Structure 1
Amino acid sequence: MLTDSDIIAVLPAKDINRARDFYRDKLGLEPSETPEADSLLYRGGHGTGFLIYQTDNAGTAKNTQMGWTTDNLEREMEELRGRGVVFEDYDQPGLKTENGVATSESEKAAWFLDSEGNILNISQRT
């Protein structure tokens, strides 16, 4: 039943206006809809999208909450850094980054935080 349905991520925001500014100014994204006064809907490729809604629970997750795939990770990171995005560095069992990038046999990946403390990811299959 759900196999052919579009998938949408849902992210929390403590301040929906601050989140809108971050996604516009840092990521170059504009909401396609504002279903409610305290939510923003963004559309991506191939029927994908994500919703941001206002809640006090934002920024409490310690895991990756949403990610994008790309065919050129370095180019995306350079553009995002130029917009002021700061990539996280990790050095823990199973995950070590160099200059913000973790590399495995199958992919390269980088993580950053949005204005609300959500952990976001960009990855490239190798």
Structure 2
Amino acid sequence: MRRERRDAYRDGRRDARRDFRRWDRRWRDNRRFGWRDYRRAHRQRFRLGRYYAPFRAHRYSRIGIGWHLDSLFFQPRFFINDPWAFRLPPVYGPYRWVRYYDDVLLVDVYTGEVVDVIYDFFW
């Protein structure tokens, strides 16, 4: 696989190779994942209680797509193990939905890169 990529790069075919591992953000257009309406109807489910940061001195800062998180922020205790319970799309490959204060981040757990963000998701 690596050799094929290297050869494709040398031959100038790097743009022809599709990367199926990249996250597709078009899920927001799919009404099946209408989490806003679902949250309005099921308010209690979106009240998870207080968020405890991985270390005491950390304060909230708004994180955007492309940022890299330290691995302390995507430990299993912060994972959203059942995304459908909140009407989030299922994840695949190295991606995991992670709670970060009241926000939800989609994180590539191998690199720590934030791939998608929903601000003010939880109450």
Instruction: Report the TM-score, using the length of structure 2 for normalisation.
Output: 0.27
Structure of larger gyration radius: 2
Instruction: Report the TM-score, using the length of structure 1 for normalisation.
Output: 0.27
Between Structure 1 and Structure 2, the one with more strand by share is: 1
